[in-house]
Amino acid sequence: MSKERTRGLGRGLSALLNDSDVADSQIETGGNAQALPIEDISANPDQPRRTFNDAELKSLAASIEENGLLQPILVRPSPTGAGYQIVAGERRWRAAQLAQLHEIPVLIRDLTDRETLEIAIVENVQRTDLNPVEEAQGYKQLVDRFEHTQDEIARAVGKSRSHVANMMRLLALPISVLDHLAAGRLSMGHARAIATAPNAAILADNIASQGLSVRQAENLMKASPTKKAPETKSAPASKDADTRALEQDLSHRLGLAVEIDHGKGEAGRVTITYSKLEQLDDVCRRLNAS
């Protein structure tokens, strides 16, 4: 099964790069670019990249106005049956709209949802187009939706397994910290410095507002008063794998630390730790929406 998943992930990347090694695979890689009306093309809602720099888009648009769109984008027939959906090249598509092009060159491929997501993640990561949070969320999608291992993902994107693991650990940070990281107000070094702090959200706000360096963030972390977590009757090591997995899943969803303690029988307790009222408000909004 692992070999099949690895081969599938490799096919996605090879289809993007038009690799001759997979010419006989399930993905057809031959054919030339053709022009399509730009209004017939739509963005992929599962695209891992969520943020686009306005200045970079304007610069690219100016280049396109001068020289045209030299590299075609990769699309597939839209799952809705109308037009085409972008697989790779949304940044170029957006810039082409700014340049007021009516048609753009595309490569059309028949790709599944799985192949589309794999290609989008690998292409963006290899071009360093994703911010750390988008990259981590992309890896998590490959793990959760398609059961790829961290080793498989690492080989596909040309990174080490420890890099993939460290990126995915970021998702356990509070939502406010991830917001700072995605916006570039915090670096990966900052995030690593405060990752284990119980008051990480407060530290992140201070680091971002004061423009502290990573070394200063480390010193702030050491000097910050920390509240020792109350001891429980059940040590974390005694929890079964399902409970630990559920804690991790809830933590990822809420962006806050979650602890589950089973009492006797079927009773138990769920503890959600927050560092400021905005995080509590966010949890309340999620519960009300449900």
- The tens digit of pLDDT for each residue in 78-137 reads 988 889 999 888 889 999 999 999 999 999 998 888 888 778 777 777 666 678 888 888
Class of domain 2-165: alpha beta
**Rounded CA separation 218/206 (Å):** 12
Q: Which residues are part of the catalytic machinery?
A: 90
Residues forming CATH 3.90.1530.30 domain(s) in the chain = 2-165
Q: How many CA atoms lie within 13 A of 263 on its CB side?
A: 5
Tell me whether strands 41-42 and 84-88 are parallel, antiparallel or unpaired: parallel
**Rounded CA separation 201/196 (Å):** 11
For the full predicted model, state whether its pTM sits above 0.75: no
Mind listing the pLDDT tens digit for each residue in 35-91? 999 999 998 887 777 677 788 888 889 999 888 888 899 999 998 888 999 988 888
174: CB partners within 8 A, 6+ apart = 200, 201, 204, 255, 256, 274, 275, 279
SS3 label, residue 268: strand
